[in-house]
Amino acid sequence: MMHSQIPKSDEYQTRRRWLTGAVGTVAALGAAPLVGAAPVQPRKQLLLLFLSGGASQFETWDPKPGAKTGGPFRAIPTSIPGERIGELLPHTAKALHRLTVVRSVVSNIADHFQGHYALQSGRIAPGYPVLGSAVAKLLERPDDVLPGYVSIRRNGPKAYTDVGDAGFLGAKYDGVKVYDNLPPQNLVRPAGITTPLAESVERLRRAADARFRQRHDGRPIESYEATYQQAAALMKHREIFDLAGESSAMHDRYGRHEFGQHCLQARRLLEAGVTCVKVTHFDWDAHQDNFYWHQVRCAEFDRTFVTLLDDLEQRGLLEHTLVVVTGEMGRTPQINNLGGRDHWGRAWSMAMAGAGVKPGVIHGATNDLGTEVTEDPVTHGDLFHTYLRALGIDSRMDYTIGDQTNPVADPAAKPIEALLA
């Protein structure tokens, strides 16, 4: 069922802080400073909050209280008249008019690895770039300094979360990994490496690369070059990873837990100009004690998510940042004998906010038991098209890599026009 759009607030003006200062192609080698003001029109950006393991739609976006599949929790009123979500998300309920909720995702995928890849690439076939890499490529600018895609996560078991990044786009567009809110390693030059020595090494590196290119195809060393340039830029701007610059009150607002601090880091990276930031929130795979686990997971997610939306809006970032909240699947209507919900890809939910999408919209519906979609089914390919369109990208265009072209998004899918602003 569709609901009317609620107007955006115009209370805030854009106050994005643009990076300036000494930026070169080689870290710590004394290159010329970056010259020029911030662009008049800020680029679109993407924040992906990935609920790894698969959050239960019944305990979040699409509750079925009283149904035999519904579980013990109530559905509570929201800021959209007549619409309810699960009681484990009380802060989100008050902000629902700012969101776009899709209750009719039909991925038909009940496997973690495949689900992670499909929901991030919009494809089933392997080798395609995931969303962060695609957006980094499609929204890049010639004067970009920082990497286009940064992925923030804990350095715990990687398992099914490691599904690759840039695919055929190459290493330049791979996500820079930030583990446990620690800066990437080796961002500070060792004390024994003087500036003259660093300059000599850099001249030697460039000469060796030029000699190689004279005799060979240069593509084998391009990945190395891209990685080097990213590392150089991060060395120049390593302060963006330093959360010590945030007040104690700000840390408290986001929550002192892992997800809260990762979201605070994500806001800093977006504010610094990174095109796409992904934050992974773990442990939604509740095959047992589902209701306890969702109390814990939702308590972390709920307050932090709304704090993040507020912060992005107050800093003028939300108007050009698309925020996507999804996992790789939903969870079964049936409750197993361990009090858990298993994997379910036939009918589940996700949400969006910010740039390019209509706020205050609930799209699609499931039946009374939540077993099937009854209105407006949406595939992972449709979502991928929609994300790109919301970011101002023509999702029908092709990548051109060498002499080959590849559709940016699955031609068999399409944008969800009802969600686009």
What does the block give as tokens for 369?
């038991």
The amino acid at residue 272 is A
Residue 321 lies in a domain: yes
Indicate the pairing of strand 176-179 with strand 373-375: unpaired
Q: Please tell me the predicted confidence (pLDDT) of residue 224.
A: 65
Q: Please tell me the predicted confidence (pLDDT) of residue 160.
A: 65
Residue 215 lies in a domain: yes
Q: Which residues make beta-bridge pairs with 265?
A: none
Residue 36 lies in a domain: no
Output 226 or 121, whichever has higher pLDDT.
121
Res 105 pLDDT > 90: yes
Nearest to 275 by CA among 100, 415, 137, 386: 137
Q: What is the pLDDT of residues 21-30, one digit of tens each?
A: 222 222 222 2
Residue 270 structural domain:
45-419
Tokens 């003006």, residue? 13
Residue 352 lies in a domain: yes
Q: How far apart are CA 39 and CA 273, in angstroms?
A: 12
DSSP 167-194: GGG-GGGSPEEEETTPPPTT-S--TT--
What does the block give as tokens for 264?
């605070």
C-alpha neighbours within 13 Å on the C-beta side of residue 77: 3
Q: What is the pLDDT of residues 339-375, one digit of tens each?
A: 999 999 999 999 999 999 999 999 999 999 999 999 9
Number of domains in the chain: 1
**118 backbone dihedrals φ, ψ, rounded to 5°:** -65, -40
Q: What is the pLDDT of residues 154-182, one digit of tens each?
A: 988 765 667 779 999 988 899 999 999 88
C-alpha neighbours within 13 Å on the C-beta side of residue 27: 20
Share of the chain above pLDDT 70, in %: 86
Res 227 pLDDT > 70: no
Q: What is the CATH number of the domain that holds 153?
A: 3.40.720.10
Residue 38 lies in a domain: no
- How many of the other CB atoms lie within 10 Å of CB of 300? 17
Rounded mean pLDDT, 6-31: 30
pTM of the model: 0.85
Q: What is the C-alpha R_g of the chain?
A: 22
Q: Helix (H, G, I), strand (E, B), or coil: what is residue 401?
A: strand
Mean pLDDT score across all residues of the chain: 87
Residue 80 lies in a domain: yes
What are the b/e assignments for 259-268, b being 16+ CB within 10 Å?
A: bbbbbbbbbb
DSSP 40-90: SSPPPEEEEEEETT---STTTTS--TTSTTS-SPPEEE-SSTT-EEETT-H
Q: What is the pLDDT of residues 263-277, one digit of tens each?
A: 999 999 999 999 999
Q: Helix (H, G, I), strand (E, B), or coil: what is residue 62?
A: coil
Rounded mean pLDDT, 306-330: 98
**Residue 193 pLDDT grade (very low, low, confident, very high; cuts 50, 70, 90):** confident
Res 1 pLDDT > 50: no
**Residue 196 pLDDT grade (very low, low, confident, very high; cuts 50, 70, 90):** confident
Q: How far apart are CA 360 and CA 237, in angstroms?
A: 37
Q: What is the pLDDT of residues 231-246, one digit of tens each?
A: 777 777 778 888 998 9
- How many of the other CB atoms lie within 10 Å of CB of 413? 19
Q: Please tell me the predicted confidence (pLDDT) of residue 39.
A: 43
Q: Helix (H, G, I), strand (E, B), or coil: what is residue 376?
A: coil
Residue 330 lies in a domain: yes
Nearest to 326 by CA among 293, 355, 301, 360: 301
Q: Which residues make beta-bridge pairs with 99?
A: 353
**350 backbone dihedrals φ, ψ, rounded to 5°:** -155, 175
Q: Please tell me the predicted confidence (pLDDT) of residue 158.
A: 65
**Residue 37 pLDDT grade (very low, low, confident, very high; cuts 50, 70, 90):** very low
Residue 353 lies in a domain: yes
Q: What is the pLDDT of residues 286-295, one digit of tens each?
A: 999 999 999 9
Q: Please tell me the predicted confidence (pLDDT) of residue 77.
A: 98
Q: How far apart are CA 183 and CA 241, in angstroms?
A: 6
